[in-house]
Structure 1
Amino acid sequence: MTATDPAIIHLTQGWCVLSLLHGKIDAHLERAPHTGHDLSVREYSLLDVLSRQHDGEGGHLQMKQVADAVVLSQSATTRLVTRLEDRGLLERCLCPTDRRGIYTNVTEAGLALLRPARSTHDAALREALGEAATNPELAPLVRAVESLDVAGRKVPA
């Protein structure tokens, strides 16, 4: 395959469109949580992921799993956890079955901040996808995102 191979050109163009959609959504979301909630998109994402943990088998995430879920390196995730912990939004605790493991939980203050931020985030996401859907180049990707079946759940419209 060469750089002029139609298959490579097609893949490259597809990746550019996907990157464009991601950039538009990310920029839209970056503005939304800051407004009135004092959270960046990354902070919101971390709180959101951690708020979905539960006690019991497989309920708590290890730091690597959290980093993968928020699409950050482990060191960046650790710094982000520390910042949110310093703000009283997260707390760390030892794993009861493995003393080397440390879990991170959202505090009541974190949940209180997350609840209204989630509404803002969800509305901004719907708005960003709605705007992107008006672009003929992005519309097929928006439809694909809206129809995703993640872990057996349809993404709400």
Structure 2
Amino acid sequence: MTATDPALTALSQGWCALSLLHGKIESHIERALQARHGLSVREYSLLDVLSRQHDGEGGHLQMKQVADAVVLSQSATTRLVTRLEERGLLSRYLCPTDRRGIYTNVSEAGFELLEEARPTNSTALREALDSAAENPDLAPLVKAVEGLHTVA
């Protein structure tokens, strides 16, 4: 395969379109969440992931699992957790069975903010997808994203 191989060029163009769609969606949601709730997309994602924890077996995530879920490095996730903890939206505690492990829970204030922000996130996502669907290069990707909910 060479750099001018049509298959490689098509793959590269597909990746560029996917990256563009992601960027458009993320920036639109970011602006909406910041304006209405003072949250970044990453902060919202972290609160959302942590809000799904439960007290059953395997119900609490370790920091590496949280980092993987929000697609950040462990150090960036720790900094994000610290910022949200300082705002009173999260709390940390030691794992009862492994004193080396630290878990994070969403506080009552964090749950309230998350519930207020969910409709904003959903509306902004819909707006971003609708706008992207008007671009012929992005429309097939939008269709694919919209079809994912029926698969899962």
Do Structure 1 and Structure 2 share a fold, with TM-score over 0.5?
yes
Distance 1:120 1:149, change over 3 A: closer
SS class of match (1:147): helix
Match of 2:120, SS state, is: helix
* 1:20 aligned residue: 20
Alignment of 1:8-47 (within 5 A): 8-47=8-47
**Mapped partners of 2:143, 2:58: distance in 1:** 32
SS at match of 1:148: helix
Q: How far off is 1:10 after superposition?
A: 0.9
- 2:126 is the counterpart of 1:126: yes
Give 1:95's aligned amino acid: C
Distance 2:139 2:18 in 1: 11
**Does residue 1:105 correspond to 2:105, yes or no?**
yes
Aligned equivalents of 1:55 and 1:5: distance in 2?
53
Shift of 1:149: 4.4
1:4-153 equivalence runs, <5 A: 4-149=4-149, 153=152
The letter of the residue matching 2:26 is D
Instruction: Determine which structure has the larger helix proportion and give its number.
Output: 2
**1:68-109 deviations in Å (ceiling 9; x for gaps):** 111111100000000000111000011122221111010001
Alignment identity in percent?
Answer: 77
Aligned-partner residue type, residue 145 of structure 2: V
Q: Which consecutive residues of structure 2, in runs of 5 or more, have no partner in the other structure?
A: none
Write the distance in 2 (CA, Å) between the matches of 1:133 and 1:61: 36
- Cα deviation for residue 36 of structure 1 reads 2.1
Which stretches in structure 1 are left out of the alignment for 5+ residues?
none
Q: Secondary structure at the match of 1:105?
A: strand
Q: Separation in 2 of the partners of 1:14 and 1:38?
A: 33
Tell me, in whole angstroms, the C-alpha distance in 1 between the residues paired with 2:53 and 2:147.
Answer: 25
The whole-number CA distance in structure 2 between the counterparts of 1:98 and 1:143 is: 45
- For 1:46, what is the secondary structure of its paired residue? helix
| Count of matched residue pairs | 152
Provide the C-alpha distance between the structure 1 equivalents of 2:149 and 2:102, rounded to a whole number of angstroms.
31
Partners in 2 of 1:58 and 1:137 — Cα distance?
42
Inter-partner Cα distance in structure 2 for 1:52 and 1:32: 23
Question: Which residue identity is paired with 1:42?
Answer: R
- SS of the aligned residue for 2:100 comes to coil
TM-score (norm 1): 0.92
